[in-house]
Structure 1
Amino acid sequence: MIMSPTTESKLITAVRQIAAEEILPRFRSLNEGDIATKSRMDDLVTVADREAERRLAEVAATLLPDVVVVGEEAVSADAKVRDAIDHSTCLIIDPVDGTWNFANGLATFAVILSISHNGETVWGMIYDPLGDDWAIATRGQGARLAKADGTETRLQYSQAGAPKAAMATGYVHSYLFHGDERQRLFSRLADFHKTDALRCSAHEYRLLSRGIVDFCVSPVLNPWDHAAGCLIVEEAGGIARLLTGEPYRPTQREGRLIVATSEDCWQMVRDTITAPDGTI
């Protein structure tokens, strides 16, 4: 499935409108009753998440009537909703990525949409409501950064070689690793120049797609977090694979994901964070 330019334009317009009406007015204006927890105390959901997802699903029913909507909040309420990605063409929605930031007044949040077909991501968009711009890609057609005034910039990595680990910067979701694996990972992160986490995959991927950072590593494969970003990075010339070397797909549920600006960079990150037997 390839998104037509007309449908893409209408969907982008809807995303911008919904963000302006359901997300931005609630930023730094949430009441106590507007925020709830899900799987753990720092896994939050707000009224903005729920209302934005509801409205995006309504738009999808009109613009993409043959596509199954898989929203993060719908999956939170019923895990079986995620199963549709395995066998259907799906619009995958993260209505507010970086909800913890959003709920606590930090301006690092975004909307993520992607379309999967036959278990492969074919279209993806990361929209920044505050900047009113978006990174977007269609498989086989490249990636670009678009602004509200109509200007677009192609996202394409240079052919420079991978940095050595001591010069490399990236995002590592180390807080999502557990037990001995987490301890081993922490000991290896010291080999990099700098590692952070923004608590917002959307903005991590936006920076990675522009080559501002070199890599991202995550042990949790929620497709609403990664499908669009991995496609955008790949279309810019980067690599998105599991630690095993298997290409990333939104159907995957387990594994350690490494996304990097080049093949050499991906291999450097893998070699840095793993033991000789290939495990973290």
Structure 2
Amino acid sequence: MNIERLAGILRQAAKDEIMPRFRRLDDGDIRSKTNAFDLVTEADENAERVITAAINAHSPNTVVIGEEAVAARPGLLDGQYEDRTVIYVDPVDGTYNFAAGLPLFAVMAAVVENGESVAGVIYDPLGDDFLMTERGCGTWQVFPDGRRVRQRFAEAAPIEQMGGLASVSYLPDAVRSQVLGNLAKVKMFANYRCAGHEYRMAAGGHVHFLMYNKLMPWDHVAGALMMREAGAHVARFDGSEYKPSHTGGGLLVAPDQESWDELRHAVFTV
């Protein structure tokens, strides 16, 4: 599917199904999935349904895998799609923020062909602009009027001067304590509970690193490709290449291989 068409589908779904519900959700419109911080709302479900239908209308042979569809049918992730085009969809990335009325959420889609990431879109419904990438073409901030700004990851910096975004929620307890202590070695770290906006910040050169442990494809396939196309070094915690099929093993993003190695050693060494 044409990436501009995919971006338009995400934007329309946000205007029709997400923004009319922002700060207007009733108690019955918000439900917990696995815990009190893992939520789903009417906006998530309706937007995913609309996005899926629109993609299927334009590309009936494309496999669409949305976060909420997998929540209902986990086996969807186990399908064999190596010879198919797959689009992973996160209808509201940052649902916890959205449900709390915080203006920090995004709509994301990633295109995978033959098991490889080839394109991604992250749409900000509040700013009404996109982060877009296609493999080999760079990462761009794209505005509704057609203006495009190329994105570049931050330049390397010493560990003590690094600022970044780190999610530690899904690390094992003992490892989490170790990592949190070691993150005191960097200048600053935060977590916005919205991978979409974290990737947007990083693409614009505003942080020196990103760190995640749980790797669901709708959260990270688009963003990881964007980081590579913006010049960053992207790898799992063990240094191996991140693939769309990976759901574990962690993800660490840094300006270059040397910075990545230094950060990996500093954060994960006792």
Q: Which TM-score applies when normalising by structure 2?
A: 0.96
Percent of aligned pairs with the same amino acid:
38
Q: Residue 205 of structure 2 is aligned with which of 198, 211, 215?
A: 211
1:21 aligns with 2:25: no
Deviations 1:47-101 (A, max 9, x none): 0000000000001102222211110000111111112375342100000000000
Q: 1:120 to 1:174 in 2, by over 3 A?
A: same
Give the residue type in structure 2 aligned to 1:267: D
1:254 counterpart SS class: coil
Runs of 4 or more above 6 Å deviation: none
1:263 aligns with 2:263: no
Instruction: Report the Cα distance in structure 2 between the residues aligned to 1:189 and 1:111, rounded to whole angstroms.
Output: 29
Contact 1:164/1:268 (CA < 8 Å) preserved in 2? no
- Secondary structure at 2:180 match in 1: helix
Structure 2 CA distance, aligned partners of 1:184 and 1:178?
Answer: 10
Structure 2: how far apart are the matches of 1:189 and 1:220? 18
Instruction: State the 1:183 CA deviation.
Output: 1.2
8 Å CA contact 1:172–1:217 kept in 2: the answer is yes
- 2:151 aligned to which of 149, 155, 161: 155
Separation (CA, whole Å) in 1 of partners of 2:59 and 2:226: 21
Contact 2:3–2:119 at 8 Å: present in 1 too?
no
Tell whether the 8 Å contact from 1:20 to 1:129 is kept in structure 2 after alignment.
Answer: yes
Quote the RMSD (CA, aligned, Å): 1.4
* Contact preservation (8 Å) 1:211, 1:261: no
Is the partner of 2:228 in helix, strand or coil? helix
AA in 1 matched with 2:8: T
Task: Name the structure 2 match of 1:188.
Answer: 182
Give the conservation status (yes or no) of the 8 Å contact 1:240–1:260: yes
Q: Which residue of the partner structure matches residue 241 of structure 2?
A: 247
Amino acid at match of 2:126: L
Partner of 1:70: 65
For the pair 1:143 / 2:139, whether they are aligned, the reply is yes
Question: 2:18–2:47: 8 Å Cα contact kept in structure 1?
Answer: yes
- Any unmatched runs of 5+ in structure 1? none
What code does the residue aligned with 1:13 have? G
How far does the alpha carbon of each residue in 1:169-224 deviate from its partner, in whole angstroms, 9 at most, with x for none? 11111222122111111110100101110000000000001110111111101111
Amino acid at match of 1:72: E
Task: Give 3-state SS (helix, strand or coil) of 1:180's partner.
Answer: helix
Q: Could you say if the C-alpha distance between residues 39 and 85 of structure 1 is closer, same or farther in structure 2, counting changes exceeding 3 Å?
A: farther
Residue identity matched to 2:44:
D
Using the alignment, how far apart are the partners of 1:82 and 1:16 within structure 2? 25
Q: Tell me, what secondary structure is at the counterpart of 2:89?
A: strand
CA contact (8 A) 1:57 1:69 kept: yes
CA-to-aligned-CA distance 1:89-124 (integer Å, 9 cap, x gap): 210000000000000000000001001112211110
The residue that corresponds to 2:37 in the other structure is: 42
